[in-house]
Copies of this chain bind each other. A is one copy, B any other.
């Protein structure tokens, strides 16, 4: 058993498990929350599809578990939700806790190559590989071959990036206020620079706006919501969803990147929770679930 169950929380009609385990990728103890929907108890082996939700900067698995309100949606359609952490914690790297938008809480879903971070900051291999493999071993009713991916902000970038790097792995992808072209914004420059170094060809391996141009594989609709009153969008230009749409032209995704710009909404969980139901319906369709 890889995971220790630190708590089992009854919520809505299912159960939220707070799990922890020793990760071989990050070489740290990692926490992860898993919501098992009401269908889980009576389910047969490998029959519950999975939605992987990647959180944004500073978040732990708990923020979205408490505030994003996936639980009733998961019960409605019958999928589990996996909420990984956003970085290793306590790796002991000098300076990793100094900044809210780099290091702890900001793993940026890459496998770091810089000397300082390459041993522990392997969140790409962790969330798309080790975590899923180990959860599938321990929770054999979960079907990790029928999985979709979503996320918020840094996690929205992580979802888009992970989907585009792994054709056919994820049935569908969506994102809330994603950092869509990290190579071209301050958050991305800081994190890609810190974890991957100065060679921008290495950044392109993770940047959705670069990846989409070369993508070959299934091309489900990509559902994105962005708040028009989100200061990280309109003021700081950290999100740049327009660049992703532009890059999709001439690719299998042309006309399939649906960015919904929502009047008045900000970057918070008040925004995310407002559109969770729409994203759940989107993924349910591709996961073969209906209500």
Inter-chain contact A271/B67, CB cutoff 8 Å: no
A100: which B residues are within 8 A, CB to CB? none
A12: which B residues are within 8 A, CB to CB? 273-274
Inter-chain contact A229/B10, CB cutoff 8 Å: yes
Q: Measured between alpha carbons, how far is A262 from B12 in the docked complex, in Å?
A: 11
Q: A270 contacts the other chain (Cβ, under 8 Å)?
A: yes
Closest chain B CB from A153 CB (angstroms): 17
A10: which B residues are within 8 A, CB to CB? 227, 229, 262-266, 270-271, 274
Closest chain B CB from A24 CB (angstroms): 31
Q: A69 contacts the other chain (Cβ, under 8 Å)?
A: yes
Q: Measured between alpha carbons, how far is A11 from B267 in the docked complex, in Å?
A: 11
Q: Is the interface of A mostly helix, strand, loop or mixed?
A: mixed
A66: which B residues are within 8 A, CB to CB? 66-67, 269-270
A272 to B, closest residue via Cβ? B11
A284: which B residues are within 8 A, CB to CB? none
Q: A80 contacts the other chain (Cβ, under 8 Å)?
A: no
Closest chain B CB from A152 CB (angstroms): 15
Q: A23 contacts the other chain (Cβ, under 8 Å)?
A: no
Q: A159 contacts the other chain (Cβ, under 8 Å)?
A: no
Q: Measured between alpha carbons, how far is A268 from B71 in the docked complex, in Å?
A: 15
Inter-chain contact A274/B11, CB cutoff 8 Å: yes
Taken residue by residue from 9 to 45, chain A's Cβ proximity to chain B (1 for < 8 Å, 0 otherwise) reads as 1111101100000000000000000000000000000
Inter-chain contact A268/B9, CB cutoff 8 Å: yes
Taken residue by residue from 245 to 283, chain A's Cβ proximity to chain B (1 for < 8 Å, 0 otherwise) reads as 000000000000000001111101111011000000000
Binding site for B on A (CB under 8 A): 8-13, 15-16, 66-67, 69, 71, 227, 229, 262-266, 268-271, 273-274
